[in-house]
Structure 1
Amino acid sequence: MLAETGKSKSEDAPERRIVPEVVRQHVEQAAFFWAQRDTLMMDDPPDLHVVAGVDSRLEANLDGLRIAGPAAWPFVTAAYEDFPEKGELFIYAWMAIEQNDSRRMAEMVEHGRQSADACGLVGALAWHKPAMIAPLVRDWISAPDSFKRFLGVSACLGHGVDPKQMLARLVRDPDTRVRSTSLRLAGKLKRADLVDELKAGLNDAEEQPRFWAAWSLAELGSGDLASPELRKVAVGGGPDAMTALRAATRAAPDKDVRAWMGGLLTSPETAPLAVRGAGMLGDRTIFHWLTHQMRNPALAVAAGAALLELFPEARGADLFTTDPSQAGKAFEDHFKDEVAKVPFADKVKEWAKSKQLLT
């Protein structure tokens, strides 16, 4: 047994005959596809159909690594050493867990600790089935090591698993990342018993815990308490701005949200946020107004994203360009050399007519 020998499962396994170049390609492609998937999921809004296609290609390459078994490790380690980015970390962690290799799992934790945000490691935990990672999570979630606690609660978040009474302690954890992730998990799980802890989180000294406390309160129906923090984060323009905006549109009555967005429209700095938020309200009658905003270079990207949220069928209809200069001189001057996804307003109108979406 593993506990008796001190060896990992992969160390006891017989070496398999492989075609080195094929295995190397599986490693490189799997790392690429997971990194691509992670990036696609950050799109606003993400194209889940495209993500599903990437997932199938990723899984095909992971199957190749399953077949290669421990013989794939030289290629996995070489890839991470050459390019220690999120996709390579994902493969390292996925392989360590898949092989139940205790030494490699210890290494993956240290690699994750040294990375910028450990998203590749967190992604590997989310990719594996809960039963596969359960022993790790049980050890990590109450560990003295704050990074392991972060991994444990992140795995619970990824799989929607409730750590029960332990979550009441984790939402007050001294580590900011653990606290933030735990507060977010409380909202995802609709843990109404933790409302008092979430309210206390609104006074946290750090922005991330405050934001996720507000987000979770909104999920639990306490939008009146959550709205001020959510709106502040949305206007702040940080990495959580779109998540905050989406939550803010649900946290207050429609009339109040529209009044807030009307105020945002009066300032050039916040007008794009209002245009994007309009697409989150689910009101397709704003189509004509949206196409008008598409003619303004400063608002076009937000208007295009709002269009895709309201009309998902617009995807794949050749209505956008990533070279803004193709939309006209005003767009070329505004974006200069920047790459941006800009809609063609005229094409959008013609497409809507052809689909009989206009009344």
Structure 2
Amino acid sequence: MMLAATDKPKSEGAPERPIVPDVVRQYAEQVAFFWAQRDTLMMDDPPDRHVVAGVDRRLEANLDGLRIAGPAAWPFITAAYEDFPEKGELFLYGWMAIELNDDRRVADAVEFGLQSKDDARGLVGALAWHLPGTIAPLVRDWIGAPDAFKRFLGVSACLGHSVDPKQMLGRLVRDPDTRVRATSVRLAGTLKRADLVNELTAALTDDDEFARFWAAWALNELGSGDLASPELRKVAVSGGSSAMTALRAAITAAPDKDVRAWMGTLLRSPETAPLAVRGAGMLGDRTVLHWLIHQMRNPALAVAAGGALLELFPEAKGADLFTLNPAELGHAFEDHFGDFGARVPVAEKVKDWGGKEMDVVPLDVRTR
């Protein structure tokens, strides 16, 4: 469903405010750009909250511009979505529809979200950006709706604001729609709904991989790591989009000795060794620094070692320890990365930065 840039819903009865078209167009484009950038940054594990906060400030400044423009901004918003119907533009459209309490535009946004290929990330983001009280009427209508996509939006909005739908969540974790189930079990874990532990345990055998994973994650949040650990480890080694989240949860799901033994096993395989190196940063043990420096000299492990470094030592972010041109580190790095501009730590710089007081000890034999 596409709208012409000049289309106006009948509900817009108020006269439009005088605007400077080029300025409002820029506001709309910047909102779409900054939110998409923010969403991508938040996918990092862990995200750089300082950088995200800077993007948020610029995003909110442009949203203020659209608030002032009001309905007069719609031609630019619809044009932006038609030209580039991606997550940032869906956020822009959905946010403005909710901001103006425009039922027709909200319905359009839902339709656009249904057509999207990324679980309507932009529309879910718009719901999360607005205050809970603003979206409450929509969520109440959607969360129990016959339409599965609207139920998904409703429970996603609850997740975005950590709002408990109370007894309805017991039904949602058993919903016939896979996306609704997966989001609902994740919400149960976020809210630490211990009363739903039986439903979460049952979800470990769900036909949907995401429902199984989030059920395991939720059980771990509730202190049932023994039940959750096998699924979490399975997802961690799968290399999928949930791998890093699963790894982080798996590290807390079992006793430290068992986790280190598992990670030692991962180190023995070239396919899973980067996962173990990255996991070293999640253990919270800063004494692995020189061991990480050793891994940075291996092109296949360097990126993972850099991620572990930044997690253990956030202060390293501003220390000029990385390069975007791996080829400058030698032929092995050039052959491994090719023209791909990976952000790779420079082992010698990290060594100078970190000092020489720590011994290099293999991860699989370390004990606390």
Q: Distance in 2 between matches of 1:40 and 1:246?
A: 18
Aligned counterparts of 2:252 and 2:310: Cα–Cα separation in 1: 19
Deviation at 1:352, TM superposition (A): 2.0
Counterparts of 2:87 and 2:196, CA distance in 1: 33
- Aligned residues of 1:27 and 1:76 also touching (Cα < 8 A): yes
Match in the other structure for 1:4: none
Query: Which residue of 2 is the match for residue 176 of structure 1?
Result: 178
Deviation at 1:323, TM superposition (A): 2.1
Q: Which residue of 2 aligns with 1:249?
A: 251
What CA distance in whole angstroms lies between the structure 1 residues aligned with 2:279 and 2:251?
7
Amino acid at match of 2:223: G
2:171 matched to 1:207?
A: no
Amino acid at match of 1:81: E
CA contact (8 A) 1:8 1:103 kept: yes
TM-score (norm 1): 0.96
Rounded Cα–Cα distance in structure 1 between residues aligned with 2:89 and 2:12: 22
Matched, 1:24 2:28: no
Q: Partner residue of 2:50?
A: 49
Segments of structure 1 that go 5 or more residues without pairing to the other structure are 1-6
Q: Residue type matched to 1:233 in 2? A: V
**3-state SS in 2 of match to 1:12:** coil
**Structure 1 residues 303-312 or 342-351, which shifts more?**
342-351
Partner secondary structure for residue 46 of structure 2: coil
Q: Report % sequence identity.
A: 79
- Segments of structure 2 that go 5 or more residues without pairing to the other structure are 1-7, 360-368
Moved more, 322-331 or 259-268: 322-331
Give the deviation of 1:9 after TM superposition.
9.5
- Given residue 17 of structure 2, which amino acid in structure 1 is its aligned partner? R
Is the 1:10–1:99 Cα contact (8 Å) retained in structure 2?
A: no
Partner of 1:3: none
List per-residue Cα deviations over 1:236-288 (Å, max 9, x = no partner): 00000000000000000000000000000000000000000111010001001
What amino acid maps onto 2:34 in structure 1?
F
Q: Which of 288, 292, 295 is equivalent to 1:293?
A: 295
Q: Is the contact made by 1:198 and 1:213 (CA closer than 8 Å) also made in structure 2?
A: yes
Q: Kindly state the Cα deviation for residue 43 of structure 1 after the two structures are TM-superposed.
A: 1.7
**Who is 2:123 aligned against?**
121
**Residues 1:148 and 2:150 are matched in the alignment:** yes
Corresponding residue of 2:362: none
Partner of 2:363: none
Of 298, 302, 305 in structure 1, the residue corresponding to residue 304 of structure 2 is 302
How many residues align? The count is 351
1:64 aligns with 2:69: no
Name 1:109's counterpart in structure 2: 110
Structure 2 CA distance for aligned equivalents of residues 321 and 90 of structure 1: 33
Deviation (angstroms), 1:45: 2.3
Who is 1:77 aligned against?
78
> How big is the alpha-carbon RMSD for the aligned residues of Structure 1 and Structure 2?
1.5
- Separation in 2, partners of 1:206, 1:28: 37
Aligned to 1:261: 263
Measure the CA separation in 2 of the matches of 1:135 and 1:240: 32
User: Shift of the alpha carbon at 1:357?
Assistant: 8.6
1:133 aligns to what?
A: 135
Distance apart, 1:324 and its partner CA: 1.4
CA pair 82-358 structure 1, distance change in 2 beyond 3 A: same
| TM-aligned CA distance change 1:32 to 1:347, over 3 Å | same
After TM superposition, the score normalised by the length of structure 2 is 0.93
Q: Which runs of 4+ in 1 moved over 3 A?
A: 7-10, 356-359
